[in-house]
Amino acid sequence: MKHYPVMLPEVLAALDMQDDQICVDGTFGNGGYSEAILNHANCSVIGLDRDKNVQPRARELSGKYAARFRWIETPFSKMDMLDLPKVDAVVLDIGVSSMQLDEADRGFSFMRNGPLDMRMGGHGPSAADAVMSLSADELTHIFRSYGEEKRAKFAAAKIVEARAQGRIDTTLALADILENALGRRGKIHPATRIFQALRIFINDELGELYRGLCAAEDILKPDGRLVVVTFHSLEDRIVKSYLRRRAAEVQGGSRYAPEVKRDGPQASFVLPKRSVTKPRASEIDENPRSRSAKLRLAVRTDAPSMPRDDRLLPPRVPQLSDLEARL
């Protein structure tokens, strides 16, 4: 399938890159944002990605744009540990890329049969390990917390029942178990939310997102821009809560009570627009995967970074380290 950089015109407008500025593309993927940014202004881009499979595309951009582009193999949550200069912009396109979804051997999608893997960085436990090793209660928690699956307990019980008959190690094997257990209701495959939940758990995507927001706050210059594109409610909830806390937004403000400024550190971000930007109808028609995308923009102030607050994250039970210890 053709690769589409989601909401590209809106992302470029929000970044507002100028000549000689530096942008970190924290989710390099297939390089759609990076190349468009490099073409938009005579600026520099530092691409980050924990997926080593993007190396050929990164080498292509390095050859085309020379010193204006470089790629670093790393999770974007560690951008503040790379000894980078202060930068003018950070862009994050959260979630799994089209490139990963379309590669059957990565195991992200049940639309193509492949190993039940789902690891973005290729390290640590796989989705098959989780399915075969975690208890019914642990799987229920994952499906409910990260997939918002209403029938999480029933799905987990059916997986535990099926694995007693043999190993579940392919995408279609798990999808068939879930379809037989849950049945089809409408257009959405019953495995959709379960696959999302397993992927988020295996890659610690919500923890990665929160740490990435904190890291971006640390490396942005005053007036630097943070642009985040999310694709489901769990991601957007974290970004929305994070940015509103960092913007030290007022509390109250109803017609019955005056607005009261929150006590605490000075705001480290301002929000030019409180609401999200969504894709145009024409883009959704061309690229249906963009339909759930939401863009948020924040501008860095000159205040110190605020303390981190892990309460923004949903509880991670079980821990990946617990799963690793069982393998």
Each domain of the chain, given as residue ranges in start order, spans 8-93+206-312, 106-203
- List, in order, residues 6 or more apart from 310 with CB less than 8 Å away: 210
Q: Is the pLDDT of residue 305 over 60?
A: yes
Q: Which of 3-17, 43-57, 244-258, 270-284 has the lowest mean pLDDT?
A: 244-258
Supply the pTM of this predicted model.
Answer: 0.88
Q: Give which of 309, 132, 281, 131 is closest to 217, Cα–Cα.
A: 309
Residue 318's pLDDT is 74
CB 134 within 8 A of CB 142: yes
Reading the block at residue 18, the tokens are 């100028």
Instruction: Indicate the DSSP class of residue 291.
Output: T
Q: What is the mean pLDDT of residues 170-175?
A: 93
pLDDT score of 96: 66
Given a cut of 90, whether residue 261 has pLDDT beyond it is no
The stretch 259-270 carries a mean pLDDT of: 70
Fold agreement between 8-93+206-312 and 106-203: no
The pLDDT value recorded for residue 108 is 55
CATH of 8-93+206-312, one of 3.40.50.150, 2.70.98.10, 3.40.190.290, 3.40.50.2000: 3.40.50.150
Q: Where are the beta strands (DSSP E) in the chain?
A: 22-25, 44-49, 69-73, 87-93, 220-230, 251-252, 259-260, 269-270, 294-300
The predicted model gives 163-174 an average pLDDT of 94
Residue 276: the pLDDT is: 95
- Report the distance separating Cα 98 and Cα 248, nearest Å: 35
pLDDT confidence band for 184 (50 / 70 / 90): confident
Residue 245 has pLDDT above 60, yes or no: yes
Using 50, 70 and 90 to split pLDDT, how confident is the model at 255? very low
Q: Is the pLDDT of residue 99 over 60?
A: no
Predicted pLDDT at 95: 67
Q: Compare 66 and 248 and report the one with higher pLDDT.
A: 66
Task: Inform me whether the pLDDT recorded for 263 exceeds 80.
Answer: no
Predicted pLDDT of residue 317: 65
| 19-28 mean pLDDT | 97
- Name every residue whose Cβ is closer than 8 Å to that of residue 119 and which is 6 or more positions away in sequence: 126, 127, 202, 203
What's domain 106-203's superfamily in CATH?
A: Putative methyltransferase TM0872, insert domain (1.10.150.170)
Percentage with pLDDT > 70 across the chain:
87
| Cβ neighbours for 191, distance < 8 A, ≥ 6 positions apart | 110, 174, 175, 178, 179
Task: Count the Cβ atoms, other than its own, within 10 Å of residue 75.
Answer: 21
